[in-house]
């Protein structure tokens, strides 16, 4: 079906990794954007085109969550105010040891519900039970770049490599190209050299990209340095991890100038997760320096267990505000840069060439944001208003591949209340398993 989205403020790519707003229309045909701006009189009254009124609204590319762990939404508020390693080792990993594929499936649906209603159309995920993650993603109507988390020091390291190959063969570019698959070595400190070499060999065999946590904490950098005499970036580069594009590095908080030069040379994408890094006391990545080197940078929420919410609007503000404080410079990470990172920047970091922008020929992934609320009034600068004042509750409609998945703030694909009820029940039974009941 064709749609004409009429009269909205369109957020489109600008110069230098930014966006700009312009009044106009969008013509959608099947899963693609056919025209933007003045679409021509012949389309204005065509009977086979459904007209969507966007007066008083902004129309933005679908937001892209460049790094999360969707199944972890069942662990929201479970373990807070802890350092990363104790948080993982004492709280999260013991729970994950008793999680079932059913837990992951419903947790992913819960995350999908939250993300879609907040304008997110695509997410990058690293977790386990990825068949269930893929099924949940397709059922709720989203797109994803999925990676089975590989722990090289774990008891199932070899089996997980075989599972990754099977998952890639089944799902890569599946569901009408809504699902892409990458390999997911967890991090330098959980994947020794011989295991990473196996991962790289398999990635090259499959033609797959790689998604890996890099330099998230000072403890990680110190540990990798003591063990291998390298920074995490140098360690991964020496083992060929960056030779299988696209490569996505999550966090990249503690990266030296030399590390950044390597990332730029290899065109490694970076998923900046400011709220998770702040909440865990990990630090803040040098995003302005990396963007100045043309490193593709997107925004991620990390999992709801660490961040609390899968809210890309809050991530935009967190990234911008903390950088302004660190540098004591209010001109760092401006609003137009934040909207770019949340859309086209995220797509480039994930290696998605035809996603993340309202331009002809791109996938029809977008959100319509109602600008009528008190906190969005008045509107002097729509880009600043969106980046600094808008939130998930302002998202009215969401389209993925030319299909409406949210209309008038309601999910169209699945029963929202059923997801919420089931996830409350699922969380209770999960905690009973943790307690051995």
Dump pLDDT digits (tens) for 210-251: 999 999 999 999 999 999 999 999 999 999 999 999 999 999
pLDDT tens-digit map of 141-196: 999 999 999 999 999 999 999 999 999 999 999 999 999 999 999 999 999 999 99
Does the fold of domain 63-350 match that of domain 2-61+362-411?
no
Pairing of strands 2-13, 49-53: parallel
Q: Model confidence over 3-46: pLDDT tens digits?
A: 999 999 999 999 899 999 999 999 999 999 999 987 754 555 56
The encoded tokens of residue 346 equal 């995220």
Confidence of residue 47 (pLDDT cuts 50, 70, 90): low
Residue 102 has pLDDT above 60, yes or no: yes
Measured in degrees and rounded to the nearest 5, phi and psi for residue 340 equal -65, -45
For domain 2-61+362-411, the CATH class is mainly beta
> Pairing relation of β-strands 209-214 and 247-251?
parallel
pLDDT at 79 (0 to 100): 86
Instruction: Please identify which residue in the block is written with the tokens 């002097």.
Output: 380
State the pLDDT at residue 85.
84
Domain boundaries, the chain: 2-61+362-411, 63-350
Assessment of whether the complete model's pTM goes beyond 0.85: yes
Per-residue confidence (pLDDT) for residue 241, from 0 to 100: 98
pLDDT at 304 over 70: yes
3-class SS string, the chain: CEEEEEEEEEEEECCCCCEEEEEEEEEEECCEEEEEECCCHHHCCCCCEEEEECCCEEEEECEEEEEECHHHHHHCCCCCCCCHHHHHHHHHHHHHCCCCHHHHHHHHHHHHHHHHHCCEEEEEEEECCHHHHHHHHHHHCCEEEEEEEECCCCCCHHHHHHHHHHHHHHHCCHHHHCEEEEEEECCCCCCCHHHHHHHHHHHHHHCCEEEEEECCCHHHHHHHHHHHCCCHHHHHHHCCHHHCCCEEEEECCCCCHHHHHHHHHHCCEEEECHHHHHHCCCCCCCHHHHHHCCCCEEECCCCHHHHCCCCHHHHHHHHHHHHHHHHCCCCCCCHHHHHHHHHHHHHHHHCCCCCCCCCCCCECCEEEEECCCHHHCCCCCHHHHHHHHCCHHHEEEEEECCEEEEECCEECCCCHHHHHHHHHHHHHHHHHHHCCC
Indicate whether 282 pLDDT > 60.
yes
CB neighbours of 160 closer than 8 A, spacing ≥ 6?
Answer: 148, 150, 151, 154
Contact 298, 66 (CB under 8 A): yes
Q: List the structure tokens of 278.
A: 């702040």
Give the burial class of 165: count Cβ atoms within 10 A of its Cβ; 0-12 exposed, 13-18 middle, 19 or more buried: middle
Q: Of 47-61, 109-123, 133-147, 381-395, which gets the smallest average pLDDT?
A: 47-61
Binning pLDDT at 50, 70 and 90, where does residue 321 land? very high
Taking phi first (over 0 means left), then psi (-120 to 50 degrees means alpha), and beta for anything else, what does residue 125 get? beta
Residue range 323-327: mean pLDDT, rounded: 96
Average of per-residue pLDDT values in the chain? 95
Which pLDDT score is estimated for 42? 54
Does domain 63-350 sit in CATH 3.20.20.140? yes
Q: How confident is the model at residue 83 (pLDDT cuts 50, 70, 90)?
A: confident
Percent of the chain scoring above 90 in pLDDT? 91
Q: What is the structure's pLDDT at 437?
A: 82
Mean pLDDT over 312-332 rounds to: 97
d(CA 17, CA 49): 33
Residue 157: Cβ within 10 Å count: 17
Q: Per-residue pLDDT averaged across 74-88, rounded?
A: 88
């Amino acid at each position: 079906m064709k749609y004409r989205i009429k009269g909205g403020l369109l957020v489109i790519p600008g110069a230098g990794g930014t966006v700009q707003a312009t009044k106009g229309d969008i013509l959608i045909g099947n899963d693609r954007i056919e025209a933007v701006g003045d679409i021509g009189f012949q389309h204005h009254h065509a009977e086979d085109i459904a007209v969507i009124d966007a007066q008083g609204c902004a129309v933005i590319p679908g937001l892209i969550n460049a790094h999360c762990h969707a199944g972890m939404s069942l662990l929201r508020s479970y373990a807070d105010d802890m350092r990363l390693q104790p948080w993982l080792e004492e709280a999260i990993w013991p729970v994950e040891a008793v999680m079932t594929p059913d837990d992951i499936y419903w947790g992913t649906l819960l995350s999908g519900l939250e993300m879609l209603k907040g304008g997110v159309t695509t997410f990058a995920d690293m977790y386990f039970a990825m068949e269930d993650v893929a099924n949940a993603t397709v059922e709720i109507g989203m797109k994803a770049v999925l990676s089975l988390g590989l722990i090289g020091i774990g008891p199932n390291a070899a089996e997980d490599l075989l599972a990754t190959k099977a998952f890639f063969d089944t799902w890569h570019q599946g569901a009408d190209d809504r699902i892409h698959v990458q390999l997911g070595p967890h991090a330098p400190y959980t994947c020794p050299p011989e295991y990473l070499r196996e991962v790289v060999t398999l990635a090259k065999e499959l033609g797959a990209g790689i998604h890996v946590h890099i330099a998230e904490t000072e403890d990680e950098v110190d540990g990798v340095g003591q063990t291998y005499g390298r920074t995490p970036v140098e360690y991964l580069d020496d083992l060929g991890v960056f030779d299988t594009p696209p490569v996505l590095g999550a966090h990249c908080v503690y990266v030296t100038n030399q590390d950044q030069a390597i990332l730029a040379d290899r065109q490694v994408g970076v998923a900046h997760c400011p709220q998770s890094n702040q909440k865990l006391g990990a630090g803040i990545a040098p995003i302005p320096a990396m963007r100045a080197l043309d490193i593709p940078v997107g925004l991620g929420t990390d999992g709801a267990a660490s961040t609390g919410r899968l809210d890309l609007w809050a991530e935009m503000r967190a990234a911008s505000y903390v950088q302004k404080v660190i540098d004591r410079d209010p001109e760092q990470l401006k609003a137009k840069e934040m909207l770019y990172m949340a859309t086209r920047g995220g797509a480039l970091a994930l290696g998605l060439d035809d996603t993340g922008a309202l331009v002809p020929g791109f996938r029809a992934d977008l959100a319509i944001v109602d600008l009528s609320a008190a906190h969005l009034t008045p509107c002097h600068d729509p880009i600043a208003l969106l980046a600094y004042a808008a939130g998930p509750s302002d998202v009215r409609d969401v389209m993925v591949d030319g299909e409406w998945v949210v209309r008038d703030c309601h999910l169209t694909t699945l029963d929202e209340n059923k997801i919420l009820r089931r996830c409350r029940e699922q969380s209770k039974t999960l905690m009973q398993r943790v307690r051995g009941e």
